Amino acid sequence: MTEEEQARQALGEILGRYKKDRKNLLPLLQEVQTTLGYLPGKALQEIADFLEMSDIEVWGVATFYNQFRFAPLGKYHTVVCMGTACHLAGGRLILDALERELGIKVGETAEDGNFSLERVACIGCCMLAPVVVIKGKIHPKMTPFKVEEALMPYRQSTEDASSSREDRKSRT
């Protein structure tokens, strides 16, 4: 099955579990995003058809909320907290350092699909400010200098993966 067929099947399963009621729009969007990682345009279209709403209305709702994404995230999704405590402790410098290190701007996913970078308003760990979350793991009390170090393990694993791929290629 191609990736697209898999996604369509997963979407069908999710839709099968909901009633055709527009109050289910947000739960539907949330579940589809959890399953597919983001909200592809085709999925939004199908949700609209299912709820008998216009596409534009579904897009209007989906784009209103910060939670929804319309492009896939990187393998190592990196979140910078820009809450008040983190800001006062130098959150902007951490964001700058991450943009520099990863070579992407906030909101972007790197071309190789490894890293994506996002800023959030507050993750509620103010006593550990400034905080960066990489693939769900919290890195407390960051400094610009510590950014490179924090990224290192993830970079190594992607390098290992790509080098082993190349090994395999060269063997065949």
Point out which residues bind other proteins (CB under 8 A): 22-27, 29-30, 60-61, 64-68, 82-85, 87-88, 90, 93, 96-97, 100-101, 120-129, 131, 138, 140, 143-145
Token digits of residue 157: 């694993």
- Decide if 89 contacts 130 (C-beta within 8 A): yes
| Helix, coil or strand: residue 103 | coil
The least distance separating other proteins from the CB of residue 1, rounded to whole angstroms, comes to 30
CB closer to other proteins, 37 vs 144: 144
Tokens of 53: 């709403």
The nearer residue to other proteins, 11 or 82, going by C-beta atoms, is 82
Nearer to other proteins, 4 or 148 (CB): 148
Q: How far is the CB of 65 from other proteins (least distance, A)?
A: 4
Instruction: Report the C-alpha gap between 63 and 171 in whole angstroms.
Output: 47
Nearest distance from residue 119's CB to other proteins, in Å?
10
Q: What is the torsional sign of CA 67, 17, 59, 3?
A: positive
